[in-house]
A and B are shown apart, each in its own frame.
Chain A
């Protein structure tokens, strides 16, 4: 059984781990100025919203061509968003959001 690609997995981990670990392991994080701590507090909503929006609205096609897409996926994500904001229940939001997409796609939409 081949194990050649295990080394590639190690190399991928070697370039991924520092991104995940360095700030977490950096000493003196508690001595950051209050403005820096406020910034870090706002990173959460900003980066998750950025991740969600880019994954929903930006499509990468052949040749790395990128385009804006507003389709049933957007409707599904927005439905989830509204439900979570209203009911504060992520699971319900996911079920409804994905359900909308599955039904519309099954219907040929």
Chain B
């Protein structure tokens, strides 16, 4: 097992794990991309139009909604508004990744933003956490190999192949996405605060989704969960855990790149955390680069 000598995996080991995680997601993304291609063809899209939806729009659920609206002959405005609402949650992903990518040139970040999807965020956040630092190449691996390429290739295959639209549930594809998101979320739970944020985010997300619909409900969970996590005292350190041969310290947050201030360290300096509280401050955290 490759290691940096601390309890963090080296880049090659972390990327191997990232590729394994990416493979599972890519299969599901390709399945849904193929179904989208078939549905688009049945709705009268040309291959160019279907490909444009997947490369330029690149908007997942909104693309499926658009197929239904277009085939029903509805005007474009509701489609555009629905797309806006469905994709508002990306603000949270973008804001969450921003501190880690601040050293990346602005044009590079602008390009990264186009491929920032649920899956790309989940894969990169888990990868950064595992690695203990930002890895721009790793972001592209998850976003391009895990989502953009399979989604677009499968869209083209679907729209060119034609035929009846299969039911993804017959292959269990509908379960891959939530299972992957849940699995990647649990990988980010490294202490009491993260656990409370995740648990309350899930509960609020479900209740709010029932009340106002999933698009806004999921955002509500993502916005309110962290507040409850922040209100929770930091938990005790746990022993390092192993991620497919890669040890990951259970209490280590994703370190910020370069000379950025660690949040817990900053809070400790502010007096929020006593220096020897057994919490997730630097004294009790495993060695990080």
Contact = CB atoms under 8 A, between A and B. Distances in A.
Interface of A: 1-6, 8-13, 15-17, 19-26, 29-30, 32, 34-35, 37-58, 60, 64, 66-68, 73, 76-77, 80-81, 83-85, 87-91, 93-95, 97-99, 101-102, 105
Contacts of B229: 42, 45-46
Contact of A41 (B88, B93, B96, B179): B96
Contacts of B84: 15-16, 19
B193 to A, nearest CB: 6
A47 B231 CA distance: 17
Given A20-B113, A46-B201, A46-B221, A9 B179 contact: no
B187 A88 contact: yes
A55 to B, nearest CB: 4
Contacts of A32: 99
- Tell which of A3, A52, A87, A88 has the most Cβ of chain B within 10 Å: A52
B99 A29 contact: yes
Contacts of A76: 172, 175, 179
B154 interface: no
Nearest to A58: B209
Interface residues of B, number: 120
Contacts of A91: 20-21, 23-24
A90 B49 CA distance: 34
Contacts of A51: 89, 118, 178, 181, 205, 218, 221-222
Contact of B183 (A43, A94, A101): A94
A44 to B, nearest CB: 4
Sort A-B residue pairs by CB-CB distance and give the 3 closest, nearest first. A50-B221, A46-B225, A50-B205
Nearest to B270: A34
A78 B92 CA distance: 25
B145 to A, nearest CB: 14
Given A16-B83, A34-B261, A42-B194, A89 B243 contact: yes
B174 to A, nearest CB: 7
A93 B25 CA distance: 12
B254 interface: yes
A-side interface mostly: helix
Contact of B172 (A6, A24, A55, A101): A101
B239 interface: no
Given A12-B66, A45-B197, A52 B178 contact: yes
A26 B243 CA distance: 34
Interface in B178-229: 178-189, 193-195, 197-206, 209-210, 213-214, 217-227, 229
A5 B58 contact: no
A37 B186 contact: no
A40 B223 CA distance: 10
Given A24-B116, A42-B193, A49 B182 contact: yes
B70 interface: yes
Contact of A12 (B79, B223, B270): B79
Contacts of B49: 2-6, 9
A11 B69 CA distance: 15
Given A8-B76, A12-B80, A49 B199 contact: yes
